[in-house]
Chains A and B, each alone.
Chain A
Amino acid sequence: MPAKVITLTSGKGGVGKTTATANLAVALAAEKSKVVCIDGDIGLRNLDVILGLENRIVYDLVDVVEGRCRLKQAMIRDKKLPDLYLIPAAQTRDKNAVSASDMIRVAKELRSDFDFVLIDSPAGIERGFRNAIAAADRVLVVTNPEVSAVRDADRVIGILESEEKGPASLILNRLNPTLVKSKDMLSPEDVLDLLAVELIGIVPEDENVVIASNRGAPVAYDAKSRAGQAFRNIAKRLKGETVPFLDLDAQGSLWDRIQRLAGRK
């Protein structure tokens, strides 16, 4: 079966697009899918460091597009997962080095060899974003439960609809259950009510994400961490499985947990 091309985008920067792309790639490959991820952020590449593959880069996406190497030569195999590859972005060029038709051509060439092609979009709604969504069969919008991130996500969802790339699915990243409980953070229900899109995953705030980035080994390698588990669930949903959403209260007090175990809550 030819690969599904999935683009992750957000409008606002810093909401966790690159982290989400790296983690979904790891989670899908850990579930025996063949995955290649493409860093679409030409000039500001980061997917390589998040995946811990920065020292292995020889060729990049712009080298492929401009014919300096074959596509296979720009593909870097992951250290741990043999079915996971990265095509890095160029660091010394800008968005204009790649066009939408280049992206479509590269994705087409990859489709026959993989189950999933994940594209990490740059922030914003300009050329780099347009390139990143050009080849997508499906678009995942990453947002945080904060006013600016939700507003920008709404803008992106609107553009995706008008470009006939919708309906988008939402990843609600960095949710803090304690703040939601004290009504100091928008809840998943609030965000879905505002954006009116399908939810594909909620990722709780988890310090392990920072630690994982420091090490260059995405948190999804650790299926026991809360964020890692959330990303693995999203990967399963992308494969068409039905997985219940994480119980966000599981972090509650000992008394809460005892009550839940006793079936009183």
Chain B
Amino acid sequence: MGFFDRIFGKKASADSAKERLQLVLIHDRTDLTPAELDSLRDDLIATISRHVAIDAKAVQIDVEHDGRSQRLVADIPLKAARRKSRKTK
């Protein structure tokens, strides 16, 4: 990596290689494309919404890896339940 690249804040090529490989390997290992992951996300939101109110926009689904095993991690924030206001006497 050249002097000027560093001055202008360009990312080291080895770092780009590692980041790109991390994403590619997740998809290679799970056979799950980004598009399929999106459709899985929509299905999950639809299913869970039938039981409990969730904040659909904030739902996050990621594939994480631990050694060579992959894990699907979902973060699904629940909406505060709208309680019926009790009458007070």
Which of A150, A157, A180 touches B68 (beta carbons < 8 Å)? Answer: A157
**CB of A106 to closest CB in B, whole Å:** 31
With known contacts A184-B12, A186-B14, A194–B21 Cβ distance under 8 A = yes
Say what secondary structure dominates the interface of chain A: helix
B13 touching A184, Cβ below 8 Å: yes
* Total interface residues in chain A, CB < 8 Å: 21
B29: Cβ under 8 A from any A Cβ: yes
CB contacts (< 8 Å) of B1 on chain A: these are 182-184
Contact of B14 among A154, A157, A180, A196 (CB under 8 A): A180
The bracket for how many chain B residues form the interface is: 10 to 19
The contact string, 1 if C-beta is below 8 Å from chain B, for chain A 136-179, is 00000000001100110011011001000000000000000000
Once the chains bind, are A183 and B13 in contact (CB under 8 Å)? Answer: yes
Q: Say yes or no for B73: interface residue by CB 8 A criterion.
A: no
B24 x A183 contact (CB < 8 A): no
Check if B21 sits within 8 Å of A150, measured CB to CB.
yes
The answer on a CB contact under 8 Å between B28 and A190 is: no
Closest CB-CB distance, A30 to chain B, in whole Å? Answer: 34
Q: Is B18 an interface residue (CB 8 A)?
A: yes
Q: How far is the CB of B70 from chain A (nearest CB, A)?
A: 11
Identify A190's interface contact among B18, B25, B67, B68, CB under 8 A.
B18
| B83 on the A face (CB < 8 A) | no
Compute how far the CA of A50 lies from the CA of B6 in the bound complex, rounded to whole angstroms.
Answer: 42
- Cα–Cα distance between A187 and B22 once the two chains are bound (Å): 14
Complex alpha-carbon distance, A180 and B13, angstroms? 10
Complex contacts, A187 vs chain B, CB 8 Å: 14
What does the 1/0 interface line of B43-73 toward A look like (CB < 8 Å)? 0000000000000000000000101100000
Q: What chain B residues lie within 8 Å of A157 (beta carbons)?
A: 68
State whether the Cβ of B84 lies closer than 8 Å to any Cβ in chain A: no
**B15 interfacial contact with A, CB 8 Å:** yes
Contacts of B7 in A (CB 8 A): none
- Which chain B residue has the least Cβ–Cβ distance from A179? B14
Q: Known contacts being A182-B1, A184-B12, A190-B14, is A151 close to B21, with CB within 8 Å?
A: yes
* Residues of A with C-beta under 8 A to B21: 147, 150-151, 186, 194
Asked if A104 CB lies within 8 Å of chain B CBs, one says no
Is B67 in contact with A196, judged by CB distance below 8 angstroms?
Answer: yes
Query: What CA separation (Å) do A196 and B70 show in the bound complex?
Result: 12
Say if the beta carbon of B82 comes within 8 Å of chain A: no
Hey, which chain B residues are within 8 Å of A183, CB to CB?
1, 12-15
Q: Which residues on B are within 8 Å of A, measured CB to CB?
A: 1, 12-15, 17-18, 20-22, 24-25, 28-29, 65, 67-68
Q: Which 5 interchain pairs have the tightest Cβ spacing?
A: A183-B12, A196-B67, A183-B14, A196-B68, A190-B18
> 27 A–B contact pairs at CB < 8 A?
A146-B17, A147-B20, A147-B21, A150-B21, A151-B21, A151-B24, A151-B25, A154-B29, A155-B28, A158-B68, A183-B1, A183-B15, A184-B12, A184-B13, A184-B14, A185-B14, A186-B14, A186-B17, A186-B18, A187-B14, A193-B18, A194-B18, A194-B21, A194-B22, A196-B65, A196-B68, A197-B68
